[in-house]
Structure 1
């Protein structure tokens, strides 16, 4: 019998090629629901919201309507990329002075499941606003949410990796004070692999959103239940905080990497980290170094270390503090940072702020028959988030506020009505020459995300891999993936499959490495999805979509 800690990669998965439309997600039922919406006449945005809701049902260990969401939307008619920031803000009464009076400080952070970590859940508004702003107009929210509602009411078989994560995080739901945590358990325990799980209370939450729109979530019964739950666990969220929540539509940030325009969400998200690293890497002859060679990995690791160091210093809510985005993305600045990379390790200046933590998320991508694409990401933050379940709601509340710092002079210091530094980031690639979509992609997983964006993108651009091959390749992770703090940029985790000779080379260069991580430990390296236009980068004129789904998850890419 296979041991619980084993997750062997012993099968081959071919890249999916399809002619009209495609969905790639971490759960096959959710991917299928996305296809169902597309066949009913919905577009990429409509299908993305349906997938997000389905993943809330099937992977509450990672995502949900009690968390946040971001998306990039490519409009094929205008060749324009739009950005939606669906992250929530801290309560209006949550001040540093209040926290200090309660004994919390830079050296003593509140627990990750405390009510203070709950920021206003932005996902519900993000779903509604994605459909309103980018949707086809042919399907109502009720029609878009109907498949997820049925899934929650009738039940679904829990997949292997999700069952493992559910068991790992179930202690939060089993806490004696978490009265309604049992709603996400079966007889007080996590559902096992293949067991049927139902969540009728979540189905009712979706029905209220479908019938009443955003008001159905941010006002009334659900809003009151959220406030009551947060208060019970020591937080100060009010009905006014929920009612005041708004999604923002941003100008996405981008850089040109060798003729490819790479798009990310601007801060408060960390997508800028990936763009800065690509700017640094652009002048290196990476292809001649060889894929995942010692020298190649060294250069990537150092570029990302330098980029993280700058991001940790500056990234915060730009509506509250100045974030020097133009400087950080300047090619001249990248050239200056490039000088810090040598044959040995670079030692970037890292901020001395609080630790930043992150964990599970869902990323998925959708393309439609009109050439539109939606790169979408949704998260509770750390697994089940706080694990706090509001009464009769069927979802957990995120703990995104744990990513604030309590250092008074830091840009990301906690303050009222402020968005925290955010780890979840969707990405896209377009042709710098024509504006045509080349790829809609992302890699979830805390601070692994910009690292994953860089690694899988270079797998395609520099080494000509198709989307599935790009996702299959072993990865590295700086820090500990789910916890990045002062000094942790020293550590590098290496996935099983990177040869011992390369491990030795990195050690000889001065890297602190942990090699051969496998089994369920592979979650450290994130789980990605990619949909490319044509057999990009070889034949972008091919009208087919080429898609890959990460073997580190339970998902699949579906198309027609």
Structure 2
């Protein structure tokens, strides 16, 4: 604002007054709090925006970081440093990804850990293609559908306790990846995580907030958690969760990591760890057993892909929601998003309507393809997308959408790593809802996932619960290529937000020209609800659901969307967290650009 405009905006009595008197007049008209009150996690001033950057998008938080030899982006700086150290020692991107994930299991227990599942897509430079792997565990073989139905709450599988626990798939996924792509010795990959867990690290703000919130939630009456003392001893030693900047240790997890480092995946699935897990679930009356663990194996899988305006976007099918990203982009290809305008009402309306259409199919068809026939090729076809695009009205919300008629016949951590040989790894790993089930086995230091909550118990549904079946999964890594060469290794964490967030990243890059960092910093939307409910959906939202907008979305856009019929919800922090490594070429030389998420505690580095 120019000085004359500033003076004109002041009350008439304030003009000509001293600076002190002017400030007093302004403050009396509208108070300006001068500090974040103690104990307040989030201090929001809607009239204060980010500072001005000299280049790039005005809302960008920082620049991409660039390097020629390797790059990593994670949700915790110490995990990123560990990954870079592994790369500099000569490790592959897979080696670095395993080391990062092990670190995050200690550093960010609110989002991941070896009690959960994982998936990865990677660019294999020798094969010159994108490769996928599924580290998804199965439901206990001794737990019957009848037993599950007898324990439902409000018609759904409860989110906590032993009932939704399935076999943790992460450690076997690490082992399988390392066997094919690892360069360093297996035990070396656990050295950083063991050192952090034994020595302790100061806890950053976002992790401290979610540990406190998670443990408070577990302790609420009626949560149905069979045993909580171990979780309290692990994450709230002395009766209090760690505060911001306070040092946190997990010696039990360090011992567990040592056993895995020395004994490989067998230590977890067939050795002392497996026996400890078996004994624990017998003690608390659960179902996960030694036999379930011993039978587990990861699965290599060929990702699906689609072309979106010259970019090929890849997604793991299997029992995940990865197909939803491809379905959304296929539908949106029929609309001129660039012409609609960045953060415009029309652009967000079209994207959210495409989400609603894709998620109808997500709830109707997505399941474990090992046991049911998922019509994946039809779901991601251009012909089907053209049919679905005709259902979108540009001026109002459509209340009559349903799943398509098939032809007859999941809180999370994400990270990305790239190495000097051209390998790029996109990996995502999760305990599902928050910290997981609330259950920590005696002496092991990690919490078990509650992924089984996403099964349905409706007869005839492809995702109906069955013993030894993989549940529908929300966690999905992202990958994009250009001209048969790798381009983006990226992901957006956060349950049902993940396909929505991935689509927004691709749209921000492709339609709106934002760089990799600004594409993640851009304000996001998140639509909740579907007429076809999955286990995590709120059945009270109705067919229109709820459209949440981050505060950075222009007010006029929110008002226009409400006029179209959208129910606008408050910004609740559920907009996912993003990391990305981008491959560029400067002539014949490769350059990596890495980006991290301002909504988390993370850091991206390259060298």
- Is it true that 1:248 corresponds to 2:286 in the alignment? no
**In the alignment, which of 592, 596, 600 is matched to residue 553 of structure 1?**
600
Superposed displacement of residue 6, structure 1:
1.2
**In the alignment, which of 221, 230, 236 is matched to residue 180 of structure 1?**
230
Question: What is aligned with 1:313?
Answer: 364
Deviations 1:179-230 (A, max 9, x none): 3111222312210000111111101111111111111001232112222333
Q: How do residues 6-45 of structure 1 correspond to structure 2 at under 5 angstroms?
A: 6=42, 10=50, 12-45=61-94
1:121 and 1:398 in contact (8 A); partners too: yes
Q: Compared with structure 1, are the counterparts of its residues 472 and 159 closer, same or farther at alpha carbon in structure 2 (3 Å cutoff)?
A: same
Q: How do residues 343-422 of structure 1 correspond to structure 2 at under 5 angstroms?
A: 343=394, 344-347=396-399, 349=401, 358=410, 360-422=411-473
Question: What is aligned with 2:551?
Answer: 496
Q: Compared with structure 1, are the counterparts of its residues 480 and 204 closer, same or farther at alpha carbon in structure 2 (3 Å cutoff)?
A: farther
Deviations 1:12-31 (A, max 9, x none): 32221222210000000000
1:533 and 1:544 in contact (8 A); partners too: yes
Moved more, 284-293 or 21-30: 284-293
Q: Distance in 2 between matches of 1:280 and 1:205?
A: 46
Q: Distance in 1 between matches of 2:358 and 2:493?
A: 18
**In the alignment, which of 264, 267, 270 is matched to residue 321 of structure 2?**
270
Question: What is aligned with 1:450?
Answer: 499
2:94 and 2:177 in contact (8 A); partners too: yes
Q: Compared with structure 1, are the counterparts of its residues 272 and 15 closer, same or farther at alpha carbon in structure 2 (3 Å cutoff)?
A: same
SS state at 1:525 partner: coil
**In the alignment, which of 27, 36, 49 is matched to residue 2 of structure 1?**
36
TM-score normalized with structure 1 length: 0.93
Deviations 1:217-272 (A, max 9, x none): 01232112222333444421221111000000111111111121111111301010
Would you say how many aligned residue pairs link Structure 1 and Structure 2? 539
Deviations 1:49-101 (A, max 9, x none): 0000000010011100000110001012322111010011000112212223x
- Is it true that 1:161 corresponds to 2:216 in the alignment? no
Q: Distance in 1 between matches of 2:464 and 2:390?
A: 31
Question: What is aligned with 1:213?
Answer: 264
Question: What is aligned with 1:484?
Answer: 537
Q: Compared with structure 1, are the counterparts of its residues 388 and 488 closer, same or farther at alpha carbon in structure 2 (3 Å cutoff)?
A: farther
TM-score normalized with structure 2 length: 0.86
SS state at 2:238 partner: coil
Q: Distance in 1 between matches of 2:547 and 2:588?
A: 39
Superposed displacement of residue 349, structure 1:
4.4
Q: How do residues 317-356 of structure 1 correspond to structure 2 at under 5 angstroms?
A: 317-343=368-394, 344-347=396-399, 349=401
Q: Compared with structure 1, are the counterparts of its residues 152 and 250 closer, same or farther at alpha carbon in structure 2 (3 Å cutoff)?
A: same
List alignment gaps of at least 5 residues for structure 1.
352-357
2:72 and 2:415 in contact (8 A); partners too: yes
Q: Distance in 2 between matches of 1:456 and 1:194?
A: 32
**In the alignment, which of 543, 546, 565 is matched to residue 510 of structure 1?**
565
Superposed displacement of residue 409, structure 1:
1.6
**In the alignment, which of 525, 543, 550 is matched to residue 575 of structure 2?**
525
Superposed displacement of residue 547, structure 1:
1.7
Q: Distance in 1 between matches of 2:603 and 2:529?
A: 27
SS state at 1:366 partner: strand
Question: What is aligned with 1:462?
Answer: 511
**In the alignment, which of 333, 349, 352 is matched to residue 298 of structure 1?**
349
SS state at 1:117 partner: coil
> C-alpha root-mean-square deviation of aligned residues, in Å?
2.0
Q: Compared with structure 1, are the counterparts of its residues 242 and 122 closer, same or farther at alpha carbon in structure 2 (3 Å cutoff)?
A: same
Deviations 1:331-371 (A, max 9, x none): 000000001001211235457xxxxxx4x110000011111
Question: What is aligned with 2:475?
Answer: 424
SS state at 2:367 partner: coil
Moved more, 271-280 or 486-495: 486-495
Q: Compared with structure 1, are the counterparts of its residues 10 and 162 closer, same or farther at alpha carbon in structure 2 (3 Å cutoff)?
A: farther
- The structure that has the greater radius of gyration is 2
Q: Distance in 1 between matches of 2:568 and 2:587?
A: 38
2:529 and 2:538 in contact (8 A); partners too: no
SS state at 2:121 partner: strand
Q: How do residues 74-89 of structure 1 correspond to structure 2 at under 5 angstroms?
A: 74-89=123-138
- Is it true that 1:123 corresponds to 2:170 in the alignment? yes
2:391 and 2:401 in contact (8 A); partners too: no
Q: Compared with structure 1, are the counterparts of its residues 463 and 207 closer, same or farther at alpha carbon in structure 2 (3 Å cutoff)?
A: same
Q: Distance in 1 between matches of 2:218 and 2:88?
A: 37
2:344 and 2:557 in contact (8 A); partners too: yes
2:343 and 2:554 in contact (8 A); partners too: no
Question: What is aligned with 2:252?
Answer: 201
1:141 and 1:210 in contact (8 A); partners too: yes
Moved more, 488-497 or 322-331: 488-497
Q: Compared with structure 1, are the counterparts of its residues 14 and 485 closer, same or farther at alpha carbon in structure 2 (3 Å cutoff)?
A: same
Q: Distance in 2 between matches of 1:211 and 1:463?
A: 49
- Is it true that 1:108 corresponds to 2:155 in the alignment? yes
Deviations 1:405-460 (A, max 9, x none): 111221111101001110000010111x3x11111000000000000000011111
Q: Distance in 2 between matches of 1:63 and 1:387?
A: 13
Q: Distance in 1 between matches of 2:337 and 2:506?
A: 13
Moved more, 218-227 or 140-149: 218-227
Superposed displacement of residue 134, structure 1:
2.3
Q: Compared with structure 1, are the counterparts of its residues 347 and 228 closer, same or farther at alpha carbon in structure 2 (3 Å cutoff)?
A: farther
**In the alignment, which of 102, 107, 119 is matched to residue 70 of structure 1?**
119
Superposed displacement of residue 540, structure 1:
9.0
SS state at 1:115 partner: coil
Question: What is aligned with 1:354?
Answer: none
Moved more, 541-550 or 61-70: 541-550
